[in-house]
Amino acid sequence: MDFQLSDDQKALRDGIRSFCEGRVPVDTLRELEVKPELDRGLWGELAEMGVFGLRLPESDGGVGLGTGDAVLVFAELGRRLVPGPLAWTHLAAGLVDGAASGDVVVGGVDLRGPQPDPILVEHLQSLDTLLVLRPDGVFRVDPREVQAQAVATPLDPLTPVRHVGELPRGDALGDADAAARLRLEGAALAAGQLLGICEATVELAVAYAKEREQFGRPIGSFQAMKHLLADMFVRQEATRAAAYAGGVTLDQPDVGDVERCVAGAKLVAGEAAVKNARACIQVHGGMGYTWEVPVHYYLKRAYVLASQFGDTEEWAGDVARRLDDEAA
Amino acid sequence: MDLRYTASEETFRRELRAWLAEAVPGHGATPPQEDWDARREYDTGWQRKLYDAGYAGINWPKEYGGREASLTEQLLYYEEIARAGAPYVGVNFVGMLHGGPTLIVEGSEDQKKAHIPRILKGEEVWCQGFSEPGAGSDLASLQTRAERDGDDYVLNGHKIWTSFAQVADFCELLVRTDPEAPKHRGISWLILPMDVAGIEIRPLPTLAGETDFSEVFLSDVRVPVENRVGAENDGWRITNVTLAFERGTAFASDMIHLQQFLRELVAAAKQVTRHDARAWDDAGLRREVGHLAAELDALWAMVKLSVSEASQTGVPGVGAAAVKLFYTELYQRVCELGLRILGRAGLAREDVGELPSGKVLHRTLQSLSLTIAAGSSQIQRNIISERILGLPREPRPR
Ligand SMILES: Cc1cc2nc3c(=O)[nH]c(=O)nc-3n(C[C@H](O)[C@H](O)[C@H](O)COP(=O)(O)OP(=O)(O)OC[C@H]3O[C@@H](n4cnc5c(N)ncnc54)[C@H](O)[C@@H]3O)c2cc1C
């Protein structure tokens, strides 16, 4: 066992990090915000970086890496709040032609029960294909056939959503097992993005606490602030360990209970990112409550990601069920 | 990132598991909490069996009787002993988990030869004489004096909360050797034999009504200067090595026990009836259990990450503060849930019918110490914010 990042993994992470820093700096968030359409240029560049074809075999034009690697990449995308149905298009690589190359933008919705209500779908107006995960299988739906109403003010200004009236059943692409597998993979990727939010909020909050002065000293010298920041750090580290373990366990199923591990990663990450983003706003004081200071974007995105591929409540119930089975 | 164990790690696990399957039942039942002679015999007897089987000091050097295996094997060892319900490290805690490891890094050749093999064989029990009534979190303000007199130090002072003092043969003792120097620069780390004249031990009952720790009074106690570990007045640096082991790796096996404990709480929740349904039928409670289980898994993944990192440095890093903080607070939350599952059966500190009230209450009361001992949660947060996040330091006198 060696749970450290290999040199290749560090290079992969650093490469995607510097791409995101150059291509999606914080200022662009405000530009992207006013344009609800997905930036197809950026999408193509992400595809070229291998974001979507990362786990596709090299023989199929992919990069041939594992889910552990994908978690590292998605953590960087999360850290920079890169918008778009990243996880869905990544999951669709190999299932939907053109997804890996970025030519076809794939979004999706994860329906755990037969008749969920309401159904909200992210980025629906920008999608070429919609994947629907149902308890009994994976389905492909033509987004133009979905009756839906745009939500005028989405929670996350970078994640437009539509309220779906009627969702056609679509064409089957996979069975119940395939749907369950995609849900787990999606949860692992979302956990990666949430880890990125944990990291970014720690960085932002620490930097602000060192720089902002009140009472003649940096606010970061007040113990109440330090302890709040220390707790953010602990959540970040727990999330890192859980998210990495979730990704690696999907690749190496012999090392543990895959579902429990991914469930735990998603649950821990979702909660940690929301708490960290809230704390980050608290550290920023009144400026943190403004639209102008970009801290709020992290909290809003954290809520979006935490709701995807099973939320905290769903996964907590799932882990409990598995404990129960174990005991029986 | 590779979570798979190598063939040799798997072999290690298999052999250890087979050995434990025979050895654990053969060692008999745990003696009563307050029978210290019996506890010493039981814990050191088990340590001796580990030694004879080649399982004492998994990552300690062969030269002094260790197995010299990897930290990963050490981790597997913790998983397996917890799984087998093997005796806890008990009175060997200080020697095995931080005193011994400190000697391996900082001790002289003679000190290592004299103590390491005996710790491994269960022939020497150690205790930790760091804290004083006026020096807890602010450990460096300790006052116990050590004055040079020829080849001896003469010690006078008062230590407190000294766990296992009443059964220990040696004590890792912090003393002030230079009262004039700034407080961090006048401390030395000594090996104190507990059978010399001038030591008085007074047990100090805990809130659980147990005598886990004591006060230790030192009056003109003579210790040879050669019992000092490291240079005179360099004790603070060595203290930090000891604390790194104490906070970094000492709790690993307890984390696995905590996972088992949570499973026992599930079983208890199925036995308790509230109104007209089992406690376990409450979906809210089940989700809470699932939530804690997920956090325990995250904790164990954190341990694996830090073990992989420490494999390169040999000493646990400052990141151990995050593990300690997360673990101890999680432990208390698990206990709180246990109490809520028991309901009024938790008014008894012994089992009520089939319900494990005795164990749950024992753990709950003991868990209150976890966020205080080995550096309180507040001190861990100071460490994280200052040493990891680089925030301005707390005011420091002198
Ligand atoms: C079960 C148990 C076993 C122990 N075993 C041993 C042993 O074997 N050997 C040994 O030497 N010691 C031992 N100790 C002592 C332990 O190390 C101390 O209790 C601990 O370091 C705290 O010191 P204190 O008790 O003096 O509390 P204090 O330092 O007085 O702290 C009281 C409160 O103030 C807070 N506080 C203190 N300083 C700060 C600060 N700078 N910032 C914010 N908050 C602060 C603390 O977090 C705590 O909540 C043991 C303690 C326990 C509970």
3-state SS, residue A129: strand
Give the Å distances, CA to CA, from A239 to A9, A244, A272, A274. Answer: 18, 8, 7, 12
User: Please, what's the b/e burial string for A219-230 (b: 16 or more CB within 10 A of its CB; e: otherwise)?
Assistant: bbbbeebbbbbb
Predicted confidence band of residue B395 (pLDDT cuts 50, 70, 90): low
Ligand 1 within 6 A of CB of B381: no
Q: How many domains in chain A?
A: 1
**Helix axis angle, A176-211 to A295-307, nearest 10°:** 160
Q: What ipTM was estimated for this complex? A: 0.95
pLDDT digits 0-9 by tens, B194-214: 999 999 999 999 999 999 999
Taking only the tens place, the pLDDT of each residue in A266-310 is 999 999 999 999 999 999 999 999 999 999 999 999 999 999 999
Which residue of B141, B166, B372, B379 sits with most ligand 1 atoms within 8 Å of its CB, as the best mutation to test the pocket? B372
Q: Is B136 in the pocket of ligand 1 (CB under 6 A)?
A: yes
Instruction: Please say whether the beta carbons of B323 and B303 come within 8 A.
Output: yes
Task: Please give the C-alpha separations between residue B326 and each of A192, A236, B80, B331, in angstroms, as whole numbers.
Answer: 20, 11, 23, 9
Count of beta carbons in the 10 Å neighbourhood of residue A253: 11
Q: Is residue A110 part of a domain?
A: no
- How far is Cα A198 from Cα A17, in angstroms, rounded to an integer? 15
* Residue located nearest, by CA, to atom 37 of ligand 1: B137
Contact criterion met (CB below 8 Å) for B307 and B75: yes
Specify if A164 maps to a domain. no
Q: In terms of Cα–Cα distance, which of B154, B158, B171 is closest to B132?
A: B158
Specify whether the CB–CB gap between A187 and A262 falls below 8 A: yes
pLDDT higher than threshold 90 for residue A26: no
Average pLDDT over residues A153-170: 95
Is A37 a member of any domain?
no
φ and ψ at residue B173, rounded to 5 degrees: -115, 130
Assess if residue A286 is contained within a domain. Answer: yes
Q: Taking a contact as any Cβ pair under 8 Å apart, which residues of chain A between 25 and 84 contact chain B?
A: 68
Looking at every residue in chain A, the average pLDDT score rounds to 95
Q: What mean pLDDT is predicted for residues A177-193?
A: 98
Cβ contacts of residue B49 below 8 Å, gap of 6+?
B23, B27
Indicate yes or no: CB of A233 within 8 angstroms of CB of B322. yes
For ligand 1, mutation pick of B91, B142, B161 (most atoms within 8 Å of CB): B161
Cα distances (angstroms) measured from residue A211 to each of A205, A231, B396: 10, 20, 22
Q: In chain B, what is the greatest distance between 2 CA atoms, to the nearest angstrom? A: 77
Q: How far is the CA of A218 from the centre of ligand 1 (A)?
A: 28
Res B372: pLDDT: 97
Please give the mean pLDDT across all residues of chain B.
Answer: 94
Q: Structure tokens of A174?
A: 């996979």
Q: Considering the entire predicted model, what is its pTM? A: 0.95
Q: How confident is the model at residue A328 (pLDDT cuts 50, 70, 90)?
A: low
Res. B397: pLDDT tops 60: no
Contacts of A248 in chain B (CB under 8 A): 1-3
Q: Assess B83–A contact: CB distance below 8 Å, yes or no.
A: no
Q: Is B200 within 8 Å of B181 (Cβ atoms)?
A: no
Q: What is the mean pLDDT of residues B96-100?
A: 95
pLDDT digits (tens, 9 = 90+) for B209-250: 999 999 999 999 999 999 999 999 999 999 998 888 887 767
pLDDT per residue as tens digits for the range A83-138: 999 999 999 999 999 999 999 999 999 998 877 889 999 999 999 999 999 999 99
Nearest CB to A226; choose among B283, B304, B381: B381
Cα distances (angstroms) measured from residue B129 to each of A128, A235, B139, B163, B208: 69, 33, 11, 9, 22
Determine how many CB atoms are found less than 10 A away from the CB of residue B197: 8
Rounded Cα–Cα distance for residues A320 and B5 (Å)? 27
For residue B208, the one-letter residue type is: A
pLDDT class of B314 with cuts at 50, 70, 90: low
| Ligand 1 atom at minimal distance to the Cα of residue B159 | 11
| Domains of chain B: residue spans and CATH | 7-88 (1.10.540.10), 126-232 (2.40.110.10), 251-388 (1.20.140.10)
Q: What would the mean pLDDT of A61-76 be, rounded to a whole number?
A: 96
Give residue B293's pLDDT band: very low, low, confident or very high (50, 70, 90): very high
Does the annotation count B354 as an active-site position?
A: no
Written as six digits, the tokens of B162 are 């000294």
Q: How many CB atoms neighbour CB A304 within 10 A?
A: 18
Whether A322 maps to a domain, the answer reads yes
| Percent of chain A's residues with pLDDT above 90 | 91
B373 lines ligand 1 (CB under 6 A): yes
- Here the tokens at position A89 are 């298009």
- Of residues A94, A89, A183, A97, the one with CA closest to residue A136: A183
B388 to A233: CB separation less than 8 angstroms, yes or no: yes
Would you call B154 helix, strand, or coil by DSSP? strand
Burial label for B95, CB within 10 Å (0-12, 13-18, 19+), is buried
Please, which residues 230-249 of chain A have a Cβ atom closer than 8 Å to chain B?
230-231, 233-234, 237-242, 244-245, 247-249
The CATH number assigned to the domain holding A288 equals 1.20.140.10
pLDDT band per the 50, 70, 90 thresholds, residue B315: low
For residue B293, the chain A residue with the least C-alpha distance is: A319
H or E element that contains B203:
strand B199-204
Distance CA A144, CA B204 (A): 75
Nearest to A135 by CA among A188, A181, A180: A180
Q: Domain containing A191: what range?
A: 178-327
Write down how long chain A is. 328
Question: Is residue A114 situated within a structural domain?
Answer: no
The pLDDT, as a whole number, for residue A27 is: 82
- Assigned domain for A260 exists: yes
Which residues neighbour B249 within 8 Å (Cβ) at sequence distance 6 or greater? B74, B97, B101, B307, B310, B316, B320
- Hey, is the C-beta of B314 within 8 angstroms of any chain A C-beta? no
B chain contacts of residue A310, beta-carbon cutoff 8 Å: none
Q: Is the pLDDT score of B158 beyond 90?
A: yes
Which pLDDT does position B249 carry in this prediction?
67
Confidence of residue B318 (pLDDT cuts 50, 70, 90): confident
Q: What is the mean pLDDT of residues B89-107?
A: 95
Report which of residues A327 and B218 the model is more confident about: B218
CA atoms within 13 A on the CB side of B230: 24
* DSSP string over A150-176: E-SS-SSTTS-EEEEEE----EEEE-H
With contact defined as beta carbons under 8 Å apart, do B64 and B110 qualify? no
> Scanning every residue of chain A, which has its alpha carbon at the shortest distance from the alpha carbon of B72?
A1
User: What's the mean pLDDT in B320-326?
Assistant: 93
Which tens digits make up the pLDDT trace of A227-250?
Answer: 999 999 999 999 999 999 999 999
In chain B, what percentage of residues exceed pLDDT 70?
A: 98
Specify the ligand 1 atom closest to the Cα of B131. 11
- Bond prior to B316 in cis (omega within 30° of 0): no
CB contact under 8 A, B391 and A206: yes
The answer to whether A225 touches B381, Cβ cutoff 8 Å, is: no
Indicate whether A297 belongs to any domain: yes
